[in-house]
Structure 1
Amino acid sequence: MFDKLLTLIFGSQNERDVKALRPVVAEIEKREAWAQSFTDDQFPEQTKILKERLSKGETLDDILIDAFALAREAAKRVLGERAYPCQLMGSLVLNSGRITEMKTGEGKTLMCVCAAYLNSLSGKGVHIVTVNDYLAERDSQWMGRVYRFLGQSVGCILSNMDYEARKAAYACDLTYGTNNELGFDYLRDNMQVDASRKVQRGFNFCIVDEIDSILIDEARTPLIISGQGEDDTYKYHEVDKYVDQFEEMEKDPKTKDYPDEVQMLPEERAALKGDYKIDEKSKRISFTDKGMNKINDILHKHGLIAEGTSVFDEENFEYVHYFTQALRAHVLYHEDVDYVVRDGQVQIVDEFTGRILEGRRYGDGLHQAIEAKEHLKIAQRNRTLATITFQNFFRMYDKLSGMTGTAQTEAVEFSRIYNLDVVAIPTNKPVARIDENDEVYLNEDAKWNAIVKEIEEAHKKGQPVLVGTISVEKSEHLSALLTRKGIRHEVLNAKNHAREALIIAEAGAKGSVTVATNMAGRGTDIKLGGSPEMRARKRAGTGATQEQYEAALAIEKEQWQKDYEEVKNLGGLYVIGSERHESRRIDNQLRGRSGRQGDPGRSKFYISMDDDLMRLFGGERMKKIMAGIGMKDDEPINHPWLNKSIARAQHKVEERNFEIRKNLLDYDDVLNKQRSFIYEQRDEILLDEDLSTRVMNNARDKVSEIFEIYESERRGSKDGSAENALAENLKNTFGLEFETVPTDEETVIAALQNDITQKELLVGKANLNMFIRYQYVQRIDKQWLDQLEYLDSLREAVHLRSYGSKNPLTEYKIDGFNQFDAMLDNIRDSVTSRIFKVKVQIQPAGMQRQAPKTIQNMNAEHKEAQSAITPQRAFNARDARSQAANSAMKTGRQGQNVTIMRTLPKVGRNDPCPCGSGKKYKQCHGKNA
C-alpha cells in the first residue's frame, strides 16, 4: 500500500528514470549547432581530440555530450537519419549499462550508435551482438559508414571467417558479431597453446541486440566445443528397433494423473499396466518396474547382454539410458515441431524464434536417438572439450547493456541474474495499434476455421495479414487450409528461412498474407505498403550500377507512398496469433510487428482448449466446463476476464521457467568459477617466460609433503623402513637417487635446483621454457576434460542425495570443488615430476642420435651441439627407474653448489594461509605457486 502511495506521488521507477534522462538530452541538443559547424573532414579530427581528453584523465561521462552530438550529426550526414530525442534517451540508457526497451520500429539500430561511438573512444573495443549473421553483416555495413565517417574502425565476425580475418575484426574499435561466434571464439582462444594465436582482446563494453532472446531464451542452451568420444552408435540402432513394444502407463480417469505406486500394495502395483510415465512439461520419461523388467527381457532375448547378467548390473545399466532417450525421441520430440530433417541431418528448431539452430545438437545421446528414429546415419557421440553458457559469457564484460522491444516482463530475471535494470523509453509517436481480446474455441479445428475466415475477410479488403504460429508443422497446416481457399500467401519457417528478408520486406504490402513461425522477421521492420528498396533492387536487376539502382528507387518510392497511404487507410498490418506462447514476451513481439512509428494496426489471438499451453495448464478441466454448459465447437468466447486468466497462466509458466534457468545457473556457477580459474592459470603459463621458477616452487611444496610423510613414519618405526620409503618416494617422484638418503629438505631441493639449472644450460632457457609450457598446457587440457565429464555425471547423480535430506546443490559444490582441488594438485605434481624425470639427449650436428648421456658428461659439449637442438627433440621423457645413474646426484654434490636458506617459517600446502583469510594456503596465496 505504501509503495503504491509513493508511486502515485513520485511516479514509477521507470517514469523517474526517463525524467532523469531529459536534461541530458536537452544538453546534447544544445550542442547540435556546434556539431553542425564542422566539415566532413573534421569529424575524425574531433574523434582524436576526444581520445586525447580521455588520455589526459577525463572520463567518458565528461565527453558524453560532445560525443553524442558528433555521432548524431554524423548519422544525419551519412544516412540522412537524425536521431529522435527518444533514441538519444535509449542510447544514454545503453551507456549506463542498462537495458533499453523500445517498441518495434522505433529505430533501435540507429539508437545504439551514440553509446557505441562514445565507448569505442576508450580504445578497449566495443562488441555489438546480433542474433544472426545476416543482421551482423547488415548492421556493420549500414552503421559502419557512420563510425568510419567519425574515424573509427569497424569489424564484423561471421561464421565462415578464418583466423586472420577474426583477429583483424576483433582489433577494430567496434566489432559486430553473433552471440554464438563470440562465445565460440572465447572457448577456442582458451584452447590455444600460443597466446599470440588468440583472436579476442578482452571484454570491455557490449551492446546486445534482442537481449531477451539471447540472455533469456537461449540461456538454457550452453555453447559446447566437442571432439569425438566413444563409438556407441550401433546401440542406438539396436534399441530403436524395440521402442514400439513399450506402452505408456494408464492414468487415473478421475485425477488425469498417474497412480502413486509408492502408496500401493505389491499386488496392486503388479496389476498396473504400462511401462513408462511421461512428464510432458519437462520432457522426461521414467520407466515403471514393469518397464525395467521388459528392458531386461528384450536385452536377453536379442543377446545384447550376457547370460547370467541383468540390466541392473553396473556394466549393463547404460542400456536404460539408451531406451530412455529412444522413447523420448519417439514420444516427446516431433518432426517439424522440435526439429526438421534436411540434407540427411536432424536440425534443431528454436522453440522461441522458429529458426534453425545451425550446428547445434541435442546432448546426452538424444540427438543420436532421433537420428535412429528417422533412420539416418548416426553421428558418433562427442566428448565435451570446452563449454560455457551465455549467462556466464556475457557476465564477463566490464559493462553490459542491451536493447529489445520486450524486456519488462523479464525485468526481475535481468535484475537478479545479470544485475541489469530495464528502462522503457516512450515512443516517438503514440502507438495506434488496436489489441483485441482473445477468441477462445473449444477445439483446434474450430479455431483454424475461424482464423482462415478472418484472413479471407481481411484479404478481400486488401489489408495485409501476418499470422504467427508456434511450429513448422502448424505453419504448414495453415498454409494447406489457405491454399484450399485459393488465398495466395507466403510461408516463413525454418525450412525456407533463406528467403526471410524478401518475405518480410513484402509482408506489409497491400493484400499480402504471410504465415510465419515465431522468427517473423525479428530485427527487421515490416513497412506498410512493402519495401521500396527491395523492389528497386528487383527492378534494377543483378549487376546494376549505383546510378541505375537510385533511379529505380526513385520510381519505387513514388509508388510506395501511394501504397502506404492505401494500406494505412485499410487499418494497417493485421497480426493474428494462432495460439498463445508460454511467454508473454514472445506474444508481445508478434504484436509488435504491427503499429510501428504511429502507424495504425490491429492484433488478435485465437486460442483453443487443445493448444499446448491450455492443455498443460488446466485446459482439460475448462474444456469440460465449457462443454457442460452447452458451448458449441464453432462458438467462441471473447471476454477480458479470459485474457487475464490466460495471462496469469503465462505468468506462472514464466516463473517456472525462470526457476529452471536460475537452478541451471546455480550449478553452472560452480563450473564457471573453476573454468575462470583454470583459464586464468593457463593464460599465466602461456605468458610466463620463467616457468622453471614455477616448477621449482611446486617441487619445494612436494618435497615438504614427502618429508612430512617421512617424519610421521620415522616416529613410528625403528628398523629404517622410513628411510627406505623416503628414498623410494624421491626416486618415483623426481627420479632422484642418493648414495646416502638425505634427512633434510634443503639437500633435496638443492639437488633439484641444480638439475633444472643444468637443463637450462644444456638446451637454453627459451627451449626449456617452451617444453615446460607444453607439458603444462597438455596436462591442464586433459585434466580439464576429465573434470568436465566428472561434473556432468555428478550433476545427474547428486539429485538422489535429496532422499537423504541433503541439498543437491550444496553436495554438488562440495564434491565438485574437492575434485577440482585434487585435479590442480595432480596437474602440479605430474608436470613437476615429469620435468625432473626427463633427461636431456644431445645430438651433435651431422651425427646420428646417440645413447643418453649423463648431465655431468654433457656439460663440456652442450655449447657445440646447441644449434642442432630443436624444442621438439630436446627432451625424452623416461621412467626414472630405467635411467642411467646420475653421478652428481648420487654423491650429493649438487647440494654443496646451491643452498636454499629459509627466511620465513615453512607454510605447508594444507596449513592455514598466513594472510589470515581462513583458507588453506593452497587455496589462497599458494594456489598460483
Structure 2
Amino acid sequence: MVNLGGLARKLFGSSNERRVRSYQSRVKAIGALEESMKALSDTELAGKTAEFKTQLAEGKKLDDILVPAFAVAREASRRTLGLRPFDVQLIGAMILHENAIAEMKTGEGKTLVATLAVYLNALSGKGVHVVTVNDYLAKRDSTTMSKLYGFLGMTTGVIVHGISDEERRAAYACDITYATNNELGFDYLRDNMKYERGQMVQRGHNYAIVDEVDSILVDEARTPLIISGPLDDRSDLYNTIDAFIPLLSEEDYEIDEKQRSANFSEVGTEKLENLLREANLLKGESLYDVENVAIVHHINNALKAHKLFQKDKDYIVRNNEIVIIDEFTGRMMPGRRYSEGQHQALEAKEKVQIQPENQTLASITFQNYFRMYKKLAGMTGTAATEAEEFSNIYGLDVVEVPTNLPIKRIDEDDEVYRTFEEKFKAIIEEIKIANERNQPVLVGTTSIEKSELLADMLSKSGFKDFKVLNARYHEQEAYIVSQAGVPGAVTIATNMAGRGTDIQLGGNLEMRLEHELAGMEPGPEREQKEAAIRENVQALKQQALQAGGLYVIATERHESRRIDNQLRGRSGRQGDPGRSKFYLSLQDDLMRIFGSDRMDSMLQKLGLKEGEAIVHPWINKALERAQKKVEARNFDIRKNLLKYDDVLNDQRKVIFEQRLELMDATDVSGTIADMRHEVIETMVALHIPENAYVEQWDAKGLKQKVASTLNLDLPIEAWVAEEGIAEDDIMTRLMEAADKAAAEKAERFGPEIMAYVERSIVLQTIDNLWREHIVNLDHLRSVVGFRGYAQRDPLQEYKSEAFELFQALLANLRDAVTLQMSRVEIVREPQPTPMAPLPMQAHHMDPVTGQDEMALRDDGAAPAQERDPANPLSWGRVGRNEPCPCGSGKKYKHCHGSLEA
C-alpha cells in the first residue's frame, strides 16, 4: 500500500520543516548586516537600543525591527560573551518571539538563544521574565547574560528565595528579570494579599520565556502553589462531630475498604441532620445544602477516622500525638500529617490535643499563572511528545529547531531481561567494559532508591570511582554533572538531576575555570593555571572522543517518552559521537503495564536462560505504544484537574481585580454606602413581607436586627404604630439614620483616617471571606465526585454550587462590612498603624517525591530581639495569637492586629 502522506512530506516537507524554512529570509537579512555591525564602535552599537525605542514610540512594531535588533544583539554577544549565535540559534529566537516553544537539542545553546528574543521584547519597556527551574540557574544565567544586556543599556534583575520585598520590587522594575517559576507564582499570590498598591512587587505579566518549559509547565504543573496560614482553634467543632459517630449503627453508613471510602446511608443522613440541628450546626433544611459543604466534609472525616483508620496499623498514639505509620515500610513518620482535617478527626477520636489546621490563604496552578502573560514562549530539548498539551492548555506550538551539526549518537535497541537482578548485573558489566576503554558513562535511574541500589551493587562489585546525584541540584551538583564528560567518569543521576548544565566531552571548561580559579587574584600565576586547565580540558576531550563520546545507560523506561529523550539527549551534543542504551526487566513498572506476565511465560517457553536478554526493534515500538497510552492518561488527569481549577480561577480574577480597584480608589465611601443600603433593603424585606398587613410585620425582630447589624437603637415599633406608614417609609428612615451615623463617624475620624479605615475594612473582609470560600470549594471538590453515582456530571455540579457559594460570599461581604463599619472606633493615636500580614507559609509539593519543596524555608518573621515596640514596620509577620510586640500584654489579634479598640 502506498503511503500518500509520506510521499507528500517528501515533496513539500513536514509542517515543521516548512515553518523553519520560513525564517531563512530573515536569517539571511541578519547575516547581511553583520559586517556593518562589526564596523560600529561599542558606543555606536549600544546606542542602537535608544534608536529602536524611538522607532517603537513612533508606531513601529517589534516585528518591524526584528532583523536589525537581532543583528545588534548577535554582535553585542560576540563582544561581551565571546559567543556568536549560529543561524539555527537565530531561528530558535524567532520562534520564541512568536510565542511558541523552540525544541532544541542539549548543547545547542538555548540560554544564548533566549537573549535575542529577550532583548527585542525588552525594548517595549514593559518587562521580560526569564523563568528557570531553580535559584542556582536564575543567578547563573542573570549574572552571565547581564554583561550582554548591560552593554546594550538594559537593566537585569534576579528573584531568588530570601530577598526582601524592596529587592523584589527593584528586580521586577528592571527591563529583564530572571526568576524561578515558584517565586513568580508566590509573588503574584502575595501581591494580591497586600493592602496598598505601593506594597506590591510585580508590575504586570507582559512576556515570559520559560526555560525547561516541559519541566515547569507539565511536570511541576501537576501540583498547585499554595500559601497557607493557621486557622483559629476549632477543636470544639471536631470534638462535637466526633461524639456523633459512636451514636450511629451499621445501617447508617457504608464502608468500602478497597476504595478507602465511607458514605452515609439515607437513614444515617437523617439521624445526623437531627444531631446537627440540636447542636445548632446545620444551616437550612438538608445536610447537603450548599451552605453545609464544610460540615459534610468534617463528618465524612470523622466517619473515616472511626471506621477506616485503625490504631497501631495506620497510626499510633505517642506523646499525646497521632503519628502516621507508612503503609509500605511499617515505619513511623513523625512530623507528617494527613491533610484537609483528617488528622484533626483522628486526634478528636483518640482524645489527644487537636493541633490547629492550616488554612489555604491563596493558591494558583502554574497553568493559570502562566496563561496570564500577554505573550508566552518556552524552550527545551524535549517538548514534541507533549505538543498536544502545550497547544490545548497554553496555546503554544512546538517547533523543532534543526541542530547546528548532524547528530552522530548511536541509539541502540533496548535489552530486556526477566528480573531486576539480571538487568542490574548486565548494567554493571556494561559500565565496567565502558570504563576500561576510558569512555565517560552517565547512568540514568527513575528514583533515588534505584540510584542508591545501583551504587551499592557497583561498590560491592569492587567499583569505587563514581558519583551519585539524586537530589534536586544546586551549585555543587551542577559542577559534578558538568564534569560527567571526563574520560572514565561514571555518574549516576535520577530523572531531573543536573538539568540546565551542559555535559561537554573532556569536562565543562567554564565550570572548571570558575571552580578552580575561585579566590585567585589576577596575575601571571592565575593566567598560567588557566592556560594549564584549558590545555588539560582539550586533551581530555580528545581522549573522550576516541573512546566513543558519552555513553548514556538508562536503567528503565520512564512513563513519559520525554524523560527518556532528555536522558538520551545528554549524549551527542554539537555533533559529538555518543551512544545510548536502555536496560529493562519484566519487573519494571512500565513492563508490568505492558503485560509482562504473558511475556514472561512466553520467554521461558522460548528457552530464555538466566542472564540472557531479548533485543528487537519490535520491543522498542511496543514500549513506545505503552508510553503513549500512559502519557495520554496523565494528560487527561491534568486536563480534568484544570477544568475544576478554572472555575476557581474565574472567581479569583474577579476578587483580585476588585481588590486592585479598591486599592487604587481614593474614596470607597460610596461603595460602602451602597452595601449598607442593600443590607437595609434585605432586612426590611425579611421582616416586612411584601403585601403583608401591618399586624404581620415583625417590628421587634427588625429592631433587634438593626441594633445588631447597624449598631442603632431606633424606635421602629413606634414607627410601625403610626397610621398610614408604608414599608418604603420604614426603609427610607432606616437608610437616613444609618447614613447620618456614618457621616458623624466620618467627621469624628477625619477624612484621611476614615478613607484608610474604610478601604482596610473592605479589603480585610474580602480576604477573610475569600479564604473561607477557598476552603469551602476544597471541601466541595472532595465530595462532589460522589454525584457521579447519581448520574449527574460532577463538574457541572461543582460549577453551579461554586457559583452559589460565590453569590453567598458577595452577600456575606455586604453584611460583614456594614456590621464592622457600624462598630469600628479609633481610640489610639490618629495616625493609623500599618497592618502586618498574617503568618504565612508557601507550599509546592514535588509531583515526583511528594515532598514540600518550600517546607524547609524560613518565611520572614522578624527575630524578637530585632523588633522595636515603637516601630510596627520592624515587627515582620506576627502570629495572631502571639503577644503583641508593642508590649501591651494583649494578644496581637486583640491589639495592633485589629482595627477595633
Match of 1:830 in 2: 816
Query: After the TM superposition, which of the residue ranges 623-632 and 407-416 deviates more from structure 2?
Result: 623-632
Match of 1:755 in 2: 741
SS of structure 1 residue aligned to 2:309 = helix
**Please, which of 68, 71, 74 is the counterpart of residue 72 of structure 1?**
74
Distance 1:524 1:322 in 2: 47
SS of structure 2 residue aligned to 1:686 = helix
Distance 1:843 1:30, change over 3 A: closer
**Please, which of 102, 105, 112 is the counterpart of residue 104 of structure 2?**
102
Whether the 8 Å CA contact 2:326–2:332 is kept in 1: the answer is: no
Matching of residue 533 in structure 1 with residue 518 in structure 2: no
Distance 1:495 1:123, change over 3 A: closer
Whether the 8 Å CA contact 1:276–1:288 is kept in 2: the answer is: no
Whether the 8 Å CA contact 1:706–1:726 is kept in 2: the answer is: yes
Deviations 1:397-448 (A, max 9, x none): 1111000000000000000011111010001001110100000000010000
Structure 1 residue 505: Cα displacement? 2.0
Structure 1 residue 542: Cα displacement? 3.6
Whether the 8 Å CA contact 1:227–1:385 is kept in 2: the answer is: yes
Structure 1 residue 781: Cα displacement? 1.6
Structure 1 residue 824: Cα displacement? 1.4
Match of 2:719 in 1: 740
Whether the 8 Å CA contact 2:262–2:300 is kept in 1: the answer is: no
Structure 1 residue 365: Cα displacement? 7.6
Structure 1 residue 500: Cα displacement? 0.8
Matching of residues 56-95 of structure 1 within 5 Å: 56-95=58-97
**Please, which of 389, 395, 415 is the counterpart of residue 413 of structure 1?**
389
Structure 1 residue 730: Cα displacement? 4.0
Distance 2:899 2:262 in 1: 54
Query: Given residue 32 of structure 1, which amino acid in structure 2 is its aligned partner?
Result: E
**Please, which of 781, 789, 793 is the counterpart of residue 795 of structure 1?**
781
Match of 1:445 in 2: 421
**Please, which of 735, 751, 763 is the counterpart of residue 765 of structure 1?**
751
Match of 1:54 in 2: 56
Matching of residue 581 in structure 1 with residue 567 in structure 2: no
SS of structure 1 residue aligned to 2:154 = coil
Match of 1:508 in 2: 485
SS of structure 2 residue aligned to 1:193 = coil
Question: TM-score normalised to the size of structure 1?
Answer: 0.76
Structure 1 residue 227: Cα displacement? 1.6
Matching of residues 662-701 of structure 1 within 5 Å: 662-701=639-678
Match of 1:226 in 2: 228
Distance 1:438 1:386, change over 3 A: same
SS of structure 1 residue aligned to 2:743 = helix
Deviations 1:782-812 (A, max 9, x none): 1111111111111110111101000011111
Whether the 8 Å CA contact 2:468–2:493 is kept in 1: the answer is: yes
Query: Given residue 448 of structure 1, which amino acid in structure 2 is its aligned partner?
Result: F
Distance 1:632 1:516 in 2: 30
Structure 1 residue 723: Cα displacement? 5.2
Distance 1:152 1:494 in 2: 35
Whether the 8 Å CA contact 2:472–2:496 is kept in 1: the answer is: no
SS of structure 2 residue aligned to 1:743 = helix
Query: Given residue 215 of structure 1, which amino acid in structure 2 is its aligned partner?
Result: L
Match of 1:558 in 2: 535
SS of structure 2 residue aligned to 1:41 = helix
Whether the 8 Å CA contact 2:520–2:526 is kept in 1: the answer is: no
Please tell me the root mean square deviation across aligned C-alpha atoms, in Å.
3.5
Whether the 8 Å CA contact 2:257–2:308 is kept in 1: the answer is: no
SS of structure 2 residue aligned to 1:575 = strand
Structure 1 residue 191: Cα displacement? 1.3
Structure 2 gaps, min length 5: 236-250, 265-296, 316-323, 346-352, 721-726, 832-894
Deviations 1:342-376 (A, max 9, x none): xx978xxxxxxxxxxxxxx985589999xxxxxxx
Match of 1:866 in 2: none
Distance 1:458 1:876 in 2: 72
**Please, which of 673, 679, 692 is the counterpart of residue 702 of structure 1?**
679
Whether the 8 Å CA contact 1:540–1:548 is kept in 2: the answer is: no
Structure 1 residue 3: Cα displacement? 6.3
Whether the 8 Å CA contact 1:763–1:874 is kept in 2: the answer is: no
Distance 1:421 1:131 in 2: 21
Distance 1:397 1:725, change over 3 A: same
Deviations 1:220-260 (A, max 9, x none): 11111112348899xxxxxxxxxxxxxxxxxxxxxxxxxxx
Matching of residues 918-929 of structure 1 within 5 Å: none
Query: Given residue 771 of structure 1, which amino acid in structure 2 is its aligned partner?
Result: V
Distance 1:398 1:540 in 2: 43
Matching of residue 465 in structure 1 with residue 455 in structure 2: no
Distance 2:897 2:73 in 1: 57
SS of structure 1 residue aligned to 2:222 = coil
Whether the 8 Å CA contact 1:148–1:154 is kept in 2: the answer is: yes
Match of 1:263 in 2: none
Q: How many residues align?
A: 761
Match of 1:804 in 2: 790
Deviations 1:823-847 (A, max 9, x none): 11111222023323546779999xx
Deviations 1:209-228 (A, max 9, x none): 00000110111111111123
Whether the 8 Å CA contact 1:43–1:151 is kept in 2: the answer is: no
Matching of residues 178-193 of structure 1 within 5 Å: 178-193=180-195
Whether the 8 Å CA contact 2:416–2:586 is kept in 1: the answer is: yes
Distance 2:639 2:298 in 1: 34
Match of 2:25 in 1: 23
SS of structure 1 residue aligned to 2:52 = helix
Distance 2:821 2:785 in 1: 41
Matching of residue 821 in structure 1 with residue 797 in structure 2: no
Structure 1 residue 38: Cα displacement? 2.3
Match of 1:494 in 2: 471
Deviations 1:652-706 (A, max 9, x none): 0000100110011011111111111111112222221111011112233333434
Deviations 1:762-782 (A, max 9, x none): 222221111112211221121
Matching of residue 613 in structure 1 with residue 590 in structure 2: yes
Structure 1 residue 460: Cα displacement? 0.3
Whether the 8 Å CA contact 1:838–1:875 is kept in 2: the answer is: no
Structure 1 residue 124: Cα displacement? 1.0
Distance 2:344 2:214 in 1: 30
Of structures 1 and 2, the one scoring higher in RCO (CA 8 A, sep 6+) is 2
Structure 1 residue 163: Cα displacement? 1.6
Question: TM-score normalised to the size of structure 2?
Answer: 0.78
Match of 2:206 in 1: 204
Match of 2:364 in 1: 388
Matching of residue 12 in structure 1 with residue 14 in structure 2: yes
Distance 1:128 1:707, change over 3 A: same
Query: Given residue 801 of structure 1, which amino acid in structure 2 is its aligned partner?
Result: R
Match of 2:569 in 1: 592
